A and B are shown apart, each in its own frame.
Chain A
């Protein structure tokens, strides 16, 4: 199973949440939560991040 990993340098800008077609990403002021079970692994959120803070973890 692939799990999304949020790296420590995430800046909580919310761009990833804006493009997730399943609305699985909740961006708080200083944290980011995924609803991992519903993720279809499209990796679009990884693609748009301005600082490459998201990664797939096998």
Chain B
């Protein structure tokens, strides 16, 4: 069996569905495939997004998938000192939402379908080869192999991405650029403020951080990401320890375990080659500081979809033509990531004692916004090391 299409999107996560939707809206024939039998499940995510991000993408929040609205942030140092950023102390310009990813991802795929994309679930991409001026991808569904001939293929295949590599793009990640994550969704969680998300820094999560993201009532995602270059224990073992020691989770019980990789090394240098583009986690389009990648995956998906559709209209699928996508990503995503990467390196260089003293100093500071730049400015005031490493950037 051979199917022909303009655009084949591999992976129906936020990146793939957004790409498929925007390519279809702009007139291309689009097929999007995913190996999963249920799009969005199991989740590899703590499910936090900014309201601002959704607004920028022109996606109306729906009570089908927004499960909780947040009003604050609590950052906790190793000795338990908290820095609160909430409405009492700070005028929050824009706080976030917690999603139900299993529902959200499906709805994003539905939007792609409504725009005209065809969706195939439980369909695995196994290989890809170049033939004349198009790409032939080998797929498998229910034990049956078939091929799709496409003018453009989009690799939106997540952190496990291999499609780009088959065409010579360097997408292999080093362990120091991939957070190893484990998370429980738990019930009976007793948070100090169930409307704030919590971040725990220091040796609870070497090379990363731990989090508690409330999902309403007494439910929360309790998880962490570590760099395996910084610890001999697995992410799961660190998680068990965190849950055992954290005051909020003393009576909490898990109803779900999630694991996965989060590529935090900054956006890949090469995102396109002839007939091919990488989008989302496959392109390391994850904020290296926060590990958040839902919004950027979807933003990049808009660019990829528009550029793919324009290329189809012009009959030119060369790397040169598709490099417009790379340019838009670098301009709108890459520049910010480069700065955040420096902040991450700084944070990772801090010992538990240094983190404690910073948290202590922050205690007395009045902040009036909640964005990263403002936080870093304050950080520079209290930490000489921050001035040294970050002073020029902010």
Chain B contacts with A in 76-131, Cβ cutoff 8 A: 122, 124, 126
Judge whether B175 and A47 touch: CB under 8 Å: yes
Inter-chain residue pair count (beta carbon < 8 A): 79
Contacting residue for A14 out of B159, B182, B228, B257, CB 8 A: B159
Question: CB within 8 A of B228: which of A13, A21, A47?
Answer: A47
Q: A23-B166, A26-B126, A29-B122 are in contact. Are A48 and B160 (CB under 8 A)?
A: no
**CB within 8 Å for A14 and B261 given contacts A27-B160, A29-B37, A48-B175:** yes
Question: In the bound complex, what is the Cα–Cα distance between A52 and B228 (angstroms)?
Answer: 11
Q: Is the CB of A23 within 8 A of B172?
A: yes
Contact indicator B178/A19 (Cβ below 8 Å) = yes
Which residue in B35, B165, B235 is a CB contact (below 8 Å) of A23? B165
B234: chain A residues at CB < 8 Å are 49-52
User: What's the least CB distance linking B59 to chain A, in Å?
Assistant: 26
Cβ–Cβ contact B172 & A20, under 8 A = yes
Q: Is A44 an interface residue (CB 8 A)?
A: yes
Inter-chain contact A51/B236, CB cutoff 8 Å: yes
Interface hub of A11, A15, A17, A23 (most chain B Cβ within 10 A): A15
User: Does any Cβ of A come within 8 Å of B263's Cβ?
Assistant: yes
B135-176 interface mask toward A, CB cutoff 8 Å, 1 = contact, 0 = none? 000000000000000000000001111100110000011110
Q: Does B73 contact A (CB under 8 A)?
A: no
CB–CB A11/B172 < 8 A = no
| Residues of B contacting A52 in the complex (Cβ-Cβ under 8 angstroms) | 234, 236
Interface contact A18-B259, CB-CB below 8 Å: no
B44 touches A13 (CB 8 A): yes
Which residues B195-245 have CB closer than 8 A to chain A? 228, 234-236
Q: Which residue of A lies closest to B232 (CB)?
A: A47
In the complex, A47→B233 CA distance in Å? 9
A28 in contact (CB, < 8 A):
yes
Question: Which B residues are in CB contact (< 8 Å) with A11?
Answer: 42, 257, 259
**B173 partner residues in chain A, CB cutoff 8 A:** 18-19
B36 at the interface (CB under 8 A from A): yes
The answer to the question of B326 belonging to the interface, with a C-beta cut-off of 8 Å to chain A, is no
Beta-carbon contact of B180 and A15 below 8 Å: yes
Q: Which residues of A contact B235 (CB under 8 A)?
A: 50-51
Q: How far is the CA of A21 from the CA of B137 in the complex (A)?
A: 21
Cα A12 to Cα B166 in complex, Å, equals: 21
> Does B27 make an interface contact (CB < 8 A)?
no
Is the CB–CB distance between B160 and A51 below 8 Å? no
Q: Digit string of B13-53 for contact with A (CB within 8 Å is 1, else 0)?
A: 00000000000000000000001110000101000000000
CB of B376, distance to nearest CB on chain A (Å) = 29
Chain B residue numbers with a CB within 8 Å of A17 are 160, 162
Q: Out of B124, B165, B260, which one reaches A50, CB within 8 Å? A: B260
| Bound CA–CA A13/B178 (angstroms) | 13
A25 to B159, CA, bound (A): 13
Determine whether B181 belongs to the interface, using a CB cutoff of 8 Å to chain A: yes
A23 to chain B, nearest CB (A): 5
Does A18 lie within 8 Å of B228, measured CB to CB? no
Rounded to whole Å, the gap between the CB of A51 and the closest CB of chain B is: 5
CA A44 to CA B174, docked complex, whole Å: 9
* Residues in A whose Cβ lies below 8 Å from that of B174: 19
User: Please, which residue of chain A has its CB at the minimum distance from the CB of B238?
Assistant: A50
- A51-B182 contact in complex given A15-B260, A17-B160, A18-B261, C-beta closer than 8 Å: yes
Q: Which residues of B contact A26 (CB under 8 A)?
A: 126, 162
For A17, the closest partner residue in chain B by CB is B160
Which residue of the partner chain B has the closest CB to A52? B234
Within 8 A of B (CB), among A3-57: 11, 13-15, 17-21, 23, 25-29, 44, 47-52
**Closest 3 A-B residue pairs measured CB to CB?**
A14-B160, A15-B261, A50-B235
With A13-B44, A29-B37 already in contact, 18 other A-B pairs whose C-beta atoms are closer than 8 Å: A14-B158, A17-B162, A18-B159, A18-B160, A18-B172, A18-B173, A18-B178, A19-B172, A19-B173, A19-B175, A20-B172, A23-B166, A27-B160, A28-B35, A48-B228, A50-B181, A50-B236, A50-B259
